Structure 1
Amino acid sequence: MFKFEIHGDNISVTDAIRNHIEEKVSKLERYFTNVPEATAHVKIKTYQDSKSKVEVTIPLKNVTLRAEERHADLYAAVDLIVEKLERQVRKHKTKVNRKFREKGVEKEIFPSLPEIEEVKEESADEIEIIRSKQFDLKPMDSEEAVLQMNMLGHDFYIFNDAETNATNIVYRRKDGKYGLIETNK
């Protein structure tokens, strides 16, 4: 059974909002044979243009389900997010079960429920690596990595941190700001 952590920015989370989110997101539990002990992290934010943004993240053992939606109606945003999460579960279910069948192991992570339609594998959904690149990682700080990324016109850049010698990644966020992913050794 999912536990819920619901936080609001610029909005107070009323009982009606909380109940709607819990009721809708809990419908995802039907996709699991044994409902995992997981916490659904929900962030709600309202903006001056009266739009709401809802983010739901559910970290599970083998996969993290995450969706985000902006909409003028908060309740509609929650409904759209649940649809996105259901598509993610169905897609993951198909891929995981296919891998187990290929290995000859009859183990299904997700149940085969009659109301769940298997996602049709399309060539667009197949993972196909069409290009491979190799390069040397130069030691630098994160600011220099951002400059290198911008100079190349990329959205991310991999580098070795000059101080820790760890491999890190800088990336451009949707809001135009930058993020840093640091690795642990």
Structure 2
Amino acid sequence: MNTSVRFKNLESSEALKNYVSDKLSRLDKYFNGPGEANVVLSIEKFRHSAEINISGDRLTIHGKEETEEMYAAIDMVLDKLEVQIKRNKQKNRAHRTKTKVEPTGNQGTHEGVGEPSTPPRVDVHPIEYKPMDVDEAIMQMDLISDNFLVFTNARTDMVNVLYRQKDGNYGLIQPRP
């Protein structure tokens, strides 16, 4: 991992640079390609702060900690960054497996806050409809045993839909002229 260490209000120290580099090397296992880390170590009065920005694998993570000791601040911010990296990697892994398992939609039941939702897949079935009156359409429905029939009403010359209701009766959908 490419590491750049900057010091603010603090003398540059090889021991701190080596400590940060060694600690950041344990995060290399989470990245496939080369990562880049920008580290800023600063002191203000009695507060020692460590701020680290890591970018790599389409992931940018930021962490900052302040304590009374610099080494403790570095350890705490690295622990915090490791948790963030694991959480993002797990989220990406879960997202990839979800799309592999459910490629045909029906993902509306798994929607959560903050998750991107994909529109459901629409299957288009072209049908042929011919002019007939409602009585003839009912007879056709009995012959084909489908739950609906699309036809052109011979009286109004408009497209109608005849459907079978759960109680066995029929329903008719007619557009208004």
What's the CA shift for 1:71? 0.7
SS in 2 for 1:104: helix
One-letter amino acid of the structure 2 residue matched with residue 63 of structure 1: L
Equivalence map 1:46-125=2 (5 Å):
46-48=43-45, 50-104=46-100
**Percent of counterpart pairs with the same letter?**
25
Q: Could you report, residue by residue, the CA deviation over 1:90-139 in whole angstroms, capped at 9, with x for unpaired residues?
A: 1011110000001118xxxxxxxxxxxxxxxxxxxx6359xxxxxxxxxx
- Report the equivalent of 1:39: 36
Contact preservation (8 Å) 1:6, 1:13: no
In structure 1, stretches of 5+ residues that fail to align are: 106-125, 130-185
One-letter amino acid of the structure 1 residue matched with residue 38 of structure 2: H
Confirm or deny that 1:127 pairs with 2:113: yes
SS in 1 for 2:63: strand
CA distance, structure 2, for counterparts of residue 39 and residue 99 of structure 1: 25
- Report the equivalent of 1:177: none
Q: Could you report, residue by residue, the CA deviation over 1:47-100 in whole angstroms, capped at 9, with x for unpaired residues?
A: 11x211110001224210110000111000010011101100110111100000
CA distance, structure 2, for counterparts of residue 26 and residue 127 of structure 1: 34
CA distance, structure 1, for counterparts of residue 114 and residue 53 of structure 2: 27
CA distance, structure 1, for counterparts of residue 114 and residue 96 of structure 2: 20
CA distance, structure 2, for counterparts of residue 20 and residue 12 of structure 1: 15
What's the CA shift for 1:38? 2.3
CA distance, structure 2, for counterparts of residue 4 and residue 46 of structure 1: 20
Task: Output the TM-score relative to the length of structure 1.
Answer: 0.53
CA distance, structure 2, for counterparts of residue 89 and residue 128 of structure 1: 18
Larger gyration radius, structure 1 or structure 2? 2
SS in 2 for 1:13: coil
In structure 2, stretches of 5+ residues that fail to align are: 102-111, 116-177
- Report the equivalent of 1:4: 3
